[in-house]
Amino acid sequence: MFATHQCTQMTTQGLLMRTLRHRNAFTRRIKHMRRGGGFGPYLKFEQTGNDEAPDKNKPNWKQVFNVKPVDFHSKQSDFVVQTCKRAGNIIMPQKDVMPVIKSFRNQLQLKENTSDLVLKRVINVEKKTKAGVGSRYLLEIEMEDKEGKNVLISKYFYTTYNKRYPELPGLCNPTDFRWDPEVKVHVILTVKNQGRWVVHFIREMEKVYQATGDKNFNVIIVDYNSTDIDIEQELKNAILPSYQFMSLGGRFAKSLGIQSGVDLVKDNNSILFMCDLHIHFPPSIIDNVRKHCVQGKMAYAPVVMRLDCGATIQSPTGFWETEGYGLVG
């Protein structure tokens, strides 16, 4: 998704894109900026063959970025992440992913109730390596049963060394580590006198709901007596599955506002997602929060990209903000 601040523009890696106001000081339009600004000339935009032509007026969420002059993906370390904030996530090569897919498919074939499933496509594979523990994967694949019905599988597991078949890793399920596709997500926001951006935020939430039909998320806005907009009325007019509104007096205090929003949630098993309002959300944002929030085990803090001055959400260039927790679930 893409996020937006008042004086610069931001995006999140693979997910969030922020759109901030152009700086008043930006007046000159040199050729370099017309081509996208920043490191735009060094980017290669990759499309898969099955993708539809993107709408030029909307962010292209399926677009993949590769920096051509320096291959950060093959040499990335924590030092690289902190010093060169344009590296992004490492993209796993196919030769590393397919053995894991094959091992998982072999395990499915050993069980009677899943032996007839046929692999249709690989949707997403994420890998997290921890020293002394091993590699944890989030595997998302689409299968087809003998009746032709599609079955979506999305689960976490660890890889182990397979003595019998060294070329294929062994797989094991982490104890009590699974995400709930139906858990309710509460999106919490605190504001004061940012009417234009509040309307933008509500419209983005409407788009998510209209695209997914997901009724298990709730919008919570805590307002410090804004005078430029009637936020409660805007929420009433919006097409959302549910919302809650609270008005507070006094000076704006974000931490107090967030806590007040959290106190409105009575279900201890739901997910709380604190965010900023200057954001363009992909339709998958609510499920992404669910996938990366495991109760008592894992929290989610997506990285935000600050766009270069003059860059747009259609042609994003900038750097990843790897420090801070502006967005956290």
CATH number at residue 101: 3.10.450
The residues pairing with 144 across neighbouring beta strands, listed in sequence order, are: 118, 150
Residue range(s) defining the domain that contains residue 226: 185-328
Q: Whole-angstrom Cα distance, residue 306 to residue 18?
A: 7
Buried b (16+ CB within 10 A) or exposed e, 46-72: eeeeeeeeeeeeebbbebebebeeeeb
Q: Are residues 156 and 192 in the same domain?
A: no
Q: Whole-angstrom Cα distance, residue 278 to residue 189?
A: 11
pLDDT of the residue at 32 = 41
pLDDT band at 13 (very low <50, low <70, confident <90, very high): very low
Q: Are residues 196 and 242 in the same domain?
A: yes
Q: Are residues 193 and 131 in the same domain?
A: no
pLDDT of 209-240, one tens digit each?
999 999 999 999 999 988 999 999 999 999 99
Q: Edge to edge, what strands does the sheet with 150-160 contain?
A: 118-130, 134-144, 150-160, 170-172
Q: Whole-angstrom Cα distance, residue 224 to residue 143?
A: 49
In a domain, 71, yes or no: no
Tokens matching residue 292:
């990366």
Number of domains in the chain: 2
Q: Which of 119, 147, 174 is the last residue of a domain?
A: 174
C-beta contacts of 147-152 below 8 A and 24+ residues apart: 150/120, 151/117, 152/123
In a domain, 2, yes or no: no
- More confident call, 90 vs 247: 247
DSSP 4: B
Q: Are residues 136 and 23 in the same domain?
A: yes
Q: Are residues 21 and 167 in the same domain?
A: yes
pLDDT of the residue at 86 = 55
Q: Whole-angstrom Cα distance, residue 1 to residue 16?
A: 2
Q: Which of 118, 144, 174 is the last residue of a domain?
A: 174
pLDDT of the residue at 6 = 37
Q: Whole-angstrom Cα distance, residue 216 to residue 185?
A: 6
In a domain, 235, yes or no: yes
Q: What percent of the chain has pLDDT over 70?
A: 71
pLDDT band at 163 (very low <50, low <70, confident <90, very high): confident
In a domain, 218, yes or no: yes
Q: Whole-angstrom Cα distance, residue 211 to residue 282?
A: 10
Q: Whole-angstrom Cα distance, residue 221 to residue 293?
A: 21
Average pLDDT along the chain? 76
pLDDT of the residue at 50 = 56
Q: Are residues 168 and 189 in the same domain?
A: no
Q: Are residues 18 and 139 in the same domain?
A: yes
Q: Are residues 251 and 170 in the same domain?
A: no
Q: Which of 142, 174, 206 is the last residue of a domain?
A: 174
pLDDT of 18-58, one tens digit each?
333 333 333 333 344 444 444 444 444 455 555 566 666 67
Tokens matching residue 66:
């590769």
